[in-house]
């Protein structure tokens, strides 16, 4: 599977994303600058990484969602191709309409950087097939605006359709229904605030994020 990682001004997890993908596939992903207007030919998987695109000015992910590469990503998602947005990437995917809801300021109005427990709420997705149902994971978080919000009708729909993929074990930011990650209705776009790409190497603190990339990309 050919992969691409999108790089915005202010991205700071693009190298972690690169290394996680290369670890699993044995093939380095293309690093695509946000001003490009097309994905590399033959791209299958696209990852929109974490960071602070455009310094989080205006609203987290809002400016990045209008970058030149975004129409290509939206069109790619429409084909059913897998898209993963982590942290700022999740914010960007909500801002551009690929995922419902919004990421608001953390309830305690403070930046949070810590390892946090999350639960696999749906193991029957292309992103989580190598996890067991209700698996307990420890994944790092690092955000100021990770408080997931959606109206009640949207939340009910997400729950009923199994679109909630990850939940916080101890809600760190006030997210509705303890939502840490969710997929779109088609099941090919995942957004999550925790950083699985930072949990793929035991030497760096843990490997609980590895199965996400293995589920999607297969073992090298």
Catalytic hit among 60, 143, 197, 214: 197
Q: Domain of residue 102: give its range.
A: 3-217
Number of structural domains (the chain) is: 1
State pLDDT tens for residues 168-203: 999 999 999 999 999 999 999 999 999 999 999 999
Residue 195 annotated in active site:
yes
Residue 96 annotated in active site:
no
Q: What pLDDT does residue 157 have?
A: 98
Q: Is the pLDDT of residue 34 over 90?
A: yes
Domain of residue 95, CATH code: 3.40.50.880
Q: What pLDDT does residue 220 have?
A: 39
What residue has token string 């030497």? 203
Q: Which long-range contacts (CB under 8 A, 24 or more apart) does 153-158 make?
A: 154/100, 154/101, 158/100, 158/182
* Helix, strand, coil distribution of the chain in percent, nearest 5: 30, 25, 45
Q: Which two tokens stand for residue 220?
A: 């090298």
Catalytic hit among 34, 60, 76, 87: 87
* pTM of the model as a whole: 0.96
């Amino acid at each position: 599977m050919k992969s691409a990682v999108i790089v915005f001004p202010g991205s700071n997890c693009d190298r972690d994303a690169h290394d996680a993908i290369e670890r699993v596939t044995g093939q380095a992903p293309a690093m695509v600058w946000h001003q490009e207007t097309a994905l590399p030919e033959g791209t299958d998987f696209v990852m929109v990484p974490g960071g602070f695109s455009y310094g989080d000015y205006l609203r987290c992910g809002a400016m990045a969602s209008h970058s030149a590469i975004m129409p290509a990503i939206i069109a790619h998602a429409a084909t059913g191709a897998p898209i993963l947005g982590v942290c700022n990437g999740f914010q960007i995917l909500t801002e551009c309409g690929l995922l419902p809801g919004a990421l608001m300021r953390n309830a305690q109005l403070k930046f949070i950087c810590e390892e946090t427990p999350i639960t696999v709420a749906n193991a029957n997705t292309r992103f989580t097939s190598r996890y067991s149902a209700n698996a307990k994971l420890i994944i790092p978080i690092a955000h100021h605006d990770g408080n997931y919000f959606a109206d009640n009708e949207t939340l009910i729909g997400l729950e009923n359709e199994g679109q909630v993929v990850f939940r916080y074990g101890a809600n760190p930011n006030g997210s509705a229904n303890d939502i840490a990650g969710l997929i779109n209705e088609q099941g090919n776009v995942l957004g999550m605030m925790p950083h699985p790409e930072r949990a793929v190497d035991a030497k760096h603190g843990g490997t609980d994020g590895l199965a996400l990339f293995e589920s999607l990309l297969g073992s090298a």
